[in-house]
Amino acid sequence: ALLRSLGVTEKEADESTAAAGLQQVKANLTELAVEPESYVLADGSGLSRHNLVSPTAIVQLLQAIARTPMAQSYRDSLAVAGVEGTLRQRFQNTPAQGRVYAKTGTMTGVSALSGYMEVPDYQPLVFSIMVNQSNQSVSTIRQAIDEIVVLLSQLRSC
């Protein structure tokens, strides 16, 4: 329904379609400088295996959001490592605690973490880590992702 509502135009207020919504989403992503080759949108479902997005597309989108007037509101909506949301129990007592603002994603065989990271004595980072079609357990995948994030949180300028 949300996808269809995005496709509504003033001229055709009574007629909206998923195809029109997809066109609007793609137009917005293009306007935000997300490379069209970095994603495939088939429908409005976040669970559909027909929708494909690369970590590059997520990073480009997050970078674009960071340049908008609503950047802080968006960031405030994200889970905080070791503090709140879906990351409350992750990254506790690590250099990443309180410095990573991110969205998790988990489905069978898929685990992802994408967001922003404040790194002391370094520039802010935007990251997206996705593991797909793995035969490892979710806990093993999550542990590997968390280890990568902790390493990133320790970056220092040369």
What tokens does 118 get? 């404040």
d(CA 127, CA 115): 6
pTM (two decimals):
0.88
Residue 116 lies in a domain: yes
Structural domain harbouring 112: 78-158
Q: Which residues contact 21 (CB under 8 A, 6 or more apart)?
A: 2, 3, 4, 5, 6, 7, 44
Residue 17 lies in a domain: no
Residue 21 lies in a domain: no
pLDDT at 145: 97
Residue 5 lies in a domain: no
pLDDT at 93: 97
**Parallel, antiparallel or unpaired: strands 110-117 and 39-40:** unpaired
CA quadruple 94, 154, 130, 61: dihedral sign = positive
Q: What are the tens digits of pLDDT across the range 12-71?
A: 555 668 888 899 999 999 999 999 999 999 888 877 888 899 999 999 999 999 999 999
